[in-house]
A and B are shown apart, each in its own frame.
Chain A
Amino acid sequence: MSDFLAPVFQTGFFTSAPVHTALIIGAVVAIVAGPLGLFTVMRGQSFAGEALGDIGTTGGSAAFLVGVGPLWGFLIVGVVAAAAMELIGIQRARGRDLATGIVLGASLGLAALFLYFDTTVHNTTGAAVTILFGSLFAVSTSTIPLVLTLAAVVLGVLSVIHRPLLLSTINPDLAAARGIPVRIVGASYLLALAVSVALCAITIGSLLSTALLIGPAAAALRVTKRPGVAAVLASLLGVVAIFIGIVLAYDSFDWPPHGHGWPVSFFITCMVFVLYLCSGVPAWHERRHAHTAGSPSLPKLPLLEA
């Protein structure tokens, strides 16, 4: 590594095992979150995504009590919650938000209880912070195979349903008239979303998981008008945010207070926010020029009964 990069990459960055694990898991999760988040933003289901993350807190905190990895907790509770949301009500946006809110409230109540036991009875210091805000450097290397498997499942489902899902997202009636099973496609998407949120939750915590899901996607769709490009770009922006976040968090061990690195989740969410702000520039530019481009060159059609 050349000398001028030395202040950026601190000694030991490239040989640290926790950093390797963090880079791998962060990259895989960001790649999955990109296209999933894109659909979430387009479908106006950001609240459902946020709720699935929050509800995951219950699973994560229960996992600590039982003594299994938090990902299992996030995953199981997230998938069950998604199924419940699908069954309770999905027809109208208001019914959906209501159902989501009710499940969310009950679930967070349980999480409060589990986190209390985690910190008092089990004396697991930092459990609450790890579950709620994540701690990428603390993720066990043994989690990698499970993360890879879940990522493959989500991307597999999405590659199967992406065209019917896109049309259902644009207009459900249009899709239904084409014979697309809108309900099944929507439910498959919601399950994939639940798994993606669980993946985001182990990366930056259950409370912050939406940032990784929604942020890069929202930035990407402002930058490009092509659906495929937007999906890839969302993944890419997520990977960039996570990598920069990891580097800065590693550097922060030398920042005050000495010997205590700043939370990596802080840096990742900051980066996501900065990338989103930057995406406003091309979006503003496109809007400014949108109306001067198309309209005047319209061919003139003969008017009827003029």
Chain B
Amino acid sequence: MGPPPVSLAGSSILSVAGISVQLGGRDVLTDVTVDIAAGQFVGLIGSNGAGKTTLLRVILGLLAPTAGTVRVAGSPRSRRNPLIGYVPQKFMLDPDAPLRARDLVGLGVDAHRFGIARPSRVRRALVDEMLAAVNAQAFANARVGLLSGGEQQRVLIAHALASRPRLLLMDEPLANLDLRSAHEVVSLLAGIAQEQQIAVFISAHEMNPLLGVMDQIVYLAAGRAVSGPVDAVIRSDVLSRLYGHHVDVLNVHGRVLVVASDHTPAEDHEPTAARDREHVQVIT
């Protein structure tokens, strides 16, 4: 049981209440609650295997939770939800695929439609607008699989925005990006959240690139979550309660590090290998 989520002003765009997921008899998520208001920038932070992707897949309706509810803009989540834009966990586009950046964004407009596509001025204008929103005009006509990781990420964001969502879900968009590209993507997303009032929910195993822009943080560890403003969550006492053993929150040259204590309690049920890794490694 984490602390109750902090309710924020503004209309709720995403309400995740008491979500639990069991996969193969294992608890992947336990009683996770998240509330996101319109235009908020929210980070979903946790180490690998903490359940970030599982939570996003539940929100998308790709995975049925064992318990709990998901409401998007006040309505129960449905499989086809145009209110949610999605950028999946890192996948490099096929370098051979005959697909320009603008074609991929165009699929964001009407890929769910059956039948023959009729080229229209409205569709073209929308694609151009989305490409401009992510500063991708320079490579709009390039083969998308030949673009760099950061460029592909921006095209995928434009693809997700093309359906005019109110919530943008992004699974580890910063993984495999160099620092500069990561900063570009983050400030781009922060701008989109602020200017277009699109809520951004972005998962990452490293919180530092997001620290300056997060309105709220959802911190996942072993399937449990605490959420709230960064200052209220990234504290030694709060995270220690979440982990079930002592962790320190360190501030090193403006970077926040969560570090496991040296003396992990003996009753910790995690396998030795995982515990040892936590000893050595900074958690997030």
Report if A and B associate in a common complex.
yes
List A residues at the B interface (Cβ < 8 Å).
Answer: 38, 41-42, 159-164, 166-167, 170-171, 173-180, 220-222, 224-227, 229-230, 286-287, 290-291, 293-295, 297-299, 301-306
Q: Is A163 within 8 A of B146, CB to CB?
A: no
A170 and B99 form a contact (CB under 8 A)? yes
- Least distance between B59 CB and chain A CB atoms (Å): 10
Are the C-beta atoms of A160 and B114 separated by less than 8 Å? yes
Interface residues of B in 80-112 (CB under 8 A from A): 80-81, 84, 86, 88, 91, 93-94, 96-100, 103-104, 107, 110-112
On chain A, the residues within 8 Å of B261 by CB distance are none
Say how far A192's CB is from chain B's closest CB, in angstroms.
14
Query: Would you list 14 pairs from A and B whose C-beta atoms are within 8 A, ordered by A residue?
Result: A162-B117, A163-B117, A164-B112, A171-B91, A175-B111, A177-B60, A178-B111, A290-B146, A293-B139, A294-B138, A294-B142, A298-B135, A298-B138, A303-B180
Chain B min CB distance to A141 (Å)? 32
The 6 closest A-B pairs by CB, nearest first: A179-B80, A294-B139, A230-B98, A167-B111, A225-B143, A177-B86
Check: B281 CB closer than 8 A to any chain A CB. no
B249 at the interface (CB under 8 A from A): no
In the complex, which residues of chain B have a beta carbon less than 8 angstroms from the beta carbon of A177?
Answer: 60-62, 84, 86, 88
- Total A-B pairs in contact (CB under 8 Å)? 126
- Give the one of B110, B113, B146, B151 with max A CB within 10 A: B146
In the bound complex, CA of A221 to CA of B99 (Å)? 9
With A167-B111, A177-B86 known as contacts, the answer to whether A220 contacts B98 (CB < 8 A) is yes
Q: Which residues of A contact B91 (CB under 8 A)?
A: 171
Q: Is A295 within 8 A of B97, CB to CB?
A: no
Q: Is the CB of A287 within 8 A of B98?
A: no
Q: Which of B42-58 contact A (CB under 8 A)?
A: none
Q: Which B residues fall within an 8 A CB radius of A?
A: 60-62, 79-81, 84, 86, 88, 91, 93-94, 96-100, 103-104, 107, 110-117, 135, 138-139, 141-143, 146-148, 151, 159, 163, 180, 183-184, 186-188, 190, 209, 211-213, 254
Most buried by B among A167, A178, A224, A227: A178
Question: Is the beta-carbon distance between A163 and B187 smaller than 8 angstroms?
Answer: no
A interface, by DSSP: helix, strand, loop or mixed? helix
Interface residue SS majority, chain B: loop
For A305, the closest partner residue in chain B by CB is B212
One of B80, B111, B190 near A166 (C-beta < 8 A): B111
* Shortest Cβ distance from B255 into A: residue: A305
Q: Which of A162, A174, A306 has the most CB of B within 10 A?
A: A174
Tell me the nearest residue of chain B to A173, going by C-beta.
B88
What 4 additional pairs, Cβ within 8 angstroms, besides A163-B114, A178-B163, A304-B183?
Answer: A170-B99, A177-B62, A225-B98, A226-B98
Chain A positions within 8 Å of B141 at CB level: 225
A160 touches B96 (CB 8 A): no
Q: Is the CB of A180 within 8 A of B111?
A: yes
Which residue on chain A has the smallest CB distance to residue B150?
Answer: A298
Query: How far apart are the CA atoms of A161 and B117 in the complex, in Å?
Result: 10
Check B62 against A176 for contact (C-beta < 8 Å): yes
Q: Are B184 and A170 neighbours in the complex by a CB distance under 8 Å?
A: no
What is the minimal beta-carbon distance from A169 to any residue of chain B, in angstroms?
8
CA distance A46 to B118 in the complex (A): 30
Bound state CA distance, A291 and B151, in angstroms?
Answer: 12
Residues of A within 8 A of B163 (CB): 178
| Chain A neighbourhood of B138, CB < 8 A | 294, 297-299
By beta carbon, the residue of chain A nearest B147 is A294
Contact A160 B115 (CB under 8 A): yes
> In chain A, what residue has the closest Cβ to B144?
A225
